[in-house]
Copies of this chain bind each other. A is one copy, B any other.
Amino acid sequence: MENIQQYVEANKDRFLEELIELLKIPSISADSTKNEEVKKAGNYIKEQLLKSGADTAELIETKGHPIVYGEKMIDGNLPTILVYGHYDVQPPDPLDLWDSPPFEPVIKDGKIFARGACDDKGQMYMHIKAFELMMKNNSLPCNVKFMIEGEEEVGSDNLGDFVKENKEKLKSDVIIISDTSMIANDTPSITTGLRGLSYVEVEVIGPNRDLHSGTFGGAVPNPIQILCEMISKCKDDDNHITIPGFYDDVEVISDEERAEMAKAPFDEEAYKKDLQIGDVHGEKGYSSNERTSIRPTFELNGIWGGYIGEGAKTVLPSKANAKISMRLVPHQSSEKITELFTKHFMSLAPPSVKVKVTPHHGGEPAVTPTDFTAYQAAKKAMAESFGKEPIPVRAGGSIPIVALFEEVLGLKSVLMGFGLDSDDIHSPNEHYGIFNFLKGIETIPLFYKYYTEMSK
């Protein structure tokens, strides 16, 4: 640990300079005019892997943006850790809400501000610098492979094929990912679960054209009214989801586990105050933490129909639409839930209207058992670097590729993130604490060490 801290202390300025170079590259995967910039960021990662001591590193083309692959194999008998991360970033819009330009990194109040500072350039780069540290300190205890993609922010479209076609190349014992958050700098935590996702768009079609609401109102199906009624019928008064079969496969959490979860610090008054809501709002019988982690949800992400401009227009519109996403918990299947939803939603339609349901994308939930060796190693590493035991936390969000890795490669992932929920990822003024960046670089070698020891 002392060696690690000394190395980080001696090299931290360079680490930050290198990260800043990476953050200057606008590798926005969603923006096709930035394809060359995305590639440039990939090349930068490849070069840094080689400089840090990788045996090989390459930019592998896909139908979309390239994947950076690199490795350092020291002994076939030792465990192999696969590092996953991404070098692409979200679009920076709305630009006018940024205090400094998104691709001109600025250090302020101990934080580095730039698009991708936390998600995921900053968190991913910690792994490369921790690798450098182990190489320079001659303390790399096992083999390591890096798979850093450039399409995470646009759905990892080509990663699935890459993984399926390169099972041998990617053969490892565990995957480590830093693309999640922890509770607070003085309350380290490890993500032990991610929710799955079923995302659908619905359309309710009434008359074949927009009508005058005075002449036709009252006798003709109003698609907005009917859409609202159908949506409201998807939940009961206790905010339970009413889709038949929806809860059938939901993982049962024991009272002991729930009691354990309830120990995680959560200040409901502060939460309400921060969001300026009159009260929390959710499924009866569960706490806010449970509602955002171990329970599935049904959320409206968008709705539109009729006249949405200024003033009044007496139109009875032809159709109304909504975007709905359901977060899923372990054992629920995205495909099955989409089917159950579709069947139920169609059944709610009165005979006067037509209804279309279009699935967008989905992903399966994932869990990392806390008795899993790699989890124990991560826990021990964080306990040592933070001086405090990390709390296991089920996250509300989804990283669909985690379930894919498990399905295709048979590998569990350790989700050891060092960001905070307040880092404004996907928002203006994204930032990452320098404390967090350096603490990550310190913690990762400890993980390698304990994981290798525990795997013996």
**A303-B304, A304-B303, A360-B312 known; A214 vs B327 contact (CB < 8 Å):** yes
Q: How far is the CB of A167 from chain B (nearest CB, A)?
A: 29
Do the beta carbons of A302 and B292 come within 8 Å of each other?
Answer: no
Q: Is A48 an interface residue (CB 8 A)?
A: no
6 contacts between A and B (CB under 8 A): A195-B214, A212-B397, A217-B396, A222-B299, A278-B352, A302-B305
Instruction: Kindly supply a per-residue 1/0 record for chain A positions 337-362, scoring 1 wherever the CB is within 8 Å of any chain B CB and 0 otherwise.
Output: 00000000000001111100000110
Q: Whole-angstrom distance from the CB of A90 to the nearest CB of chain B?
A: 11
Q: Which listed residue, B215, B235, B297, touches A217 by the CB 8 Å rule?
A: B297
Q: Does A281 contact B (CB under 8 A)?
A: yes
Q: Which of B209, B218, B352, B360 contacts A299 (CB 8 A)?
A: B218
**C-alpha spacing A305/B229, complex, angstroms:** 16
Which of A6-14, A121-129, A316-324 forms part of the interface with chain B?
A316-324
Asked if A301 and B275 sit within 8 Å, CB to CB, the answer is no
- Interchain CB contact under 8 A, A306 and B303: yes
* A325 touches which of B221, B280, B314, B350 (Cβ 8 Å): B314
Given the interface contacts A225-B231, A325-B312, A352-B278, does A300 sit within 8 Å of B306 by beta carbon? yes
Q: How far is B300's CA from A220's CA once the two chains are assembled, in angstroms?
A: 12
List of B residues within 8 angstroms of A352 by Cβ: 277-281
By a CB distance below 8 angstroms, the chain B residues around A231 are 224-225, 228-229, 232
Residues of B within 8 A of A227 (CB): 228, 303
A233 to chain B, nearest CB (A): 8
Q: Closest Cβ of chain B: how far from A96's Cβ, in Å?
A: 16
The distance from the CB of A318 to the nearest CB of chain B, in whole angstroms, is 9
Determine which of B199, B206, B220, B288 lies in contact with A312 in the assembled complex, contact meaning CB atoms within 8 Å.
Answer: B199
Interface string of A352-388 (1 = CB under 8 A from B): 1110000011000000000000000000000000000
A53 within 8 A of partner (CB): no
Chain B neighbourhood of A219, CB < 8 A = 280-282, 288-289, 291-292
A322-B306 Cα distance, complex, nearest whole Å: 9
Knowing A216-B396, A301-B306 are in contact, say whether A351-B312 is a contact too (CB < 8 A).
no
A226 to B237, CA, bound (A): 11
